[in-house]
Structure 1
């Protein structure tokens, strides 16, 4: 390349180039804004408070920034397995995932341009569905009736 074009490779998600406005700073804003909402939520707050000690929050937030960076920007920063901690939460169900998605949607709509918010929501909806299936399977429940939660259904 002669130096006239972009120096970084173009990230493509589902056949569409990722908007350049989506960067690490935006991911940081989404993650921190979202978990501010989570921590004060009546339903989800107590779950997180019981599993993450106050002095561990900075580490958790950094890990979630790494997760979303890997998910959205295709970086290789995230090392971990996000499902096992969720499998260990007794009673975790659709109500919790719906609240998680509503809070996430409110956060990305507040922080991101509409196209970027839609990309975040697409990923969040897919993650929620796969986690719901895994939770049910892990409990020995049937997964046949578990339909994906849609954004319109929130």
Structure 2
């Protein structure tokens, strides 16, 4: 059978998230920019910096950042680069509470809105909100608290 060849498609052009094709502009470079930009803010933040810097030694930050790049690559680009379980380390932080998640999400939102086109920022933020809610539920359960009282944090609640 003759005909013209099929058009070349980028690897992510066939990825569907929440019923929408993943924007071609979202790539490893953008993920890297978000991760590094976000954690720069985290490390400087008055509330979150002491928590993260107290757990992750200065010499270990490069490894952590690469792990977070792999996590977001696997989460949004479906690359399979991430191997690990992100929840257990968070369960072992006794001071981690609602204010930390609110601040984490606010900084994340500011980062993705600064670095990404709106449709990509929305994808990142949607995933971050879901992950935060999942973590908050697991932490409440782990601490013996009533997880039914843990409501999702909305975009509107973020500063």
What pairs with 1:34-45 in structure 2 (closer than 5 Å)? 34-45=38-49
Query: Structure 2-normalised TM-score?
Result: 0.94
1:16-65 residue CA offsets vs partner (Å, 9 max, x unmatched) = 00000000000000000000000000000001111111111100000000
2:19 maps to 1:15 = yes
Give the equivalent residue in structure 2 for 1:2. Answer: 5
TM-score (norm: length of structure 1): 0.97
Shift of 1:5: 3.5
SS in 1 for 2:149: coil
Does 1:30 find its partner at 2:30?
Answer: no
Residue 128 of structure 1: aligned partner: 132
Give the Cα separation in 1 of the matches to 2:49 and 2:106: 14
Which aligned segments of 4 or more residues in structure 1 are displaced greater than 6 angstroms?
A: none
Find the aligned partners of 2:115 and 2:109 in 1 and give their Cα distance.
10
**Structure 1 portions without partners, runs of 5+:** none
| Partners of 2:10 and 2:119 in 1: CA distance | 23
Partner Cα separation in structure 2 for residue 83 and residue 152 of structure 1: 25
Q: Does 1:64 align with 2:68?
A: yes
- Compute the RMSD of aligned alpha carbons: 1.2
Q: How many residues align?
A: 154
Offset at 1:3? Answer: 4.1
Note closer, same or farther for the CA distance 1:144–1:28 as it changes in structure 2 (3 Å cut): same
Matched, 1:150 2:141: no
Residue in 2 that maps onto 1:80: 84
SS at match of 1:89: coil
Structure 1: distance between partners of 2:40 and 2:7: 41
Q: Which has the larger radius of gyration?
A: 2
Distance in 2, matches of 1:6 and 1:77, equals: 21
SS in 2 for 1:152: helix
